[in-house]
Homo-oligomer: A and B are copies of this chain.
């Protein structure tokens, strides 16, 4: 890892027609779909572990066990939001993520803290994060 590695995982999100409610702004449950897509992309690209491989091949899941969200300002149809994901901390079996969605002006729209647990889908019990995965997760940890 060189010093130039950016510990923030970023994507952009277009606010689509199907995301918006009769007030013309994002219907808040859609934000959680956006968060799940962001985590999915981070796993695939940032951690090199696709949800498909986790679920289908390894019998593992990464369910969300806790979530706290502040909806700071509304997002409108057609806006492109900047999504940022960082690792706040991680333990034996869990990962705490910080997510921010920013408007085109750079101001916060949504701030979220999300706790994921690595789960054996058959036993329905938490499993330890493998060492290779921990190393990759650590690269996105801000307090490291």
Interface residues of A (CB under 8 A from B): 16-18, 20-25, 27-30, 32-33, 35-37, 40, 50-53, 55-56, 61, 63-71, 74, 76-78, 121, 124
A67-B69, A70-B65 known; A21 vs B18 contact (CB < 8 Å) = yes
* Minimum CB–CB distance for A59 against chain B, Å: 10
Q: Which residue of chain B has the shortest Cβ distance to A67 in the bound complex?
A: B69
By secondary structure, the A interface counts as: mixed
Q: What is the oligomeric copy number?
A: 4
* Minimum CB–CB distance for A105 against chain B, Å: 15
Contact among B20, B23, B29 for A29, CB-based, below 8 A:
B29
A32 pairs with B22, CB closer than 8 A: no
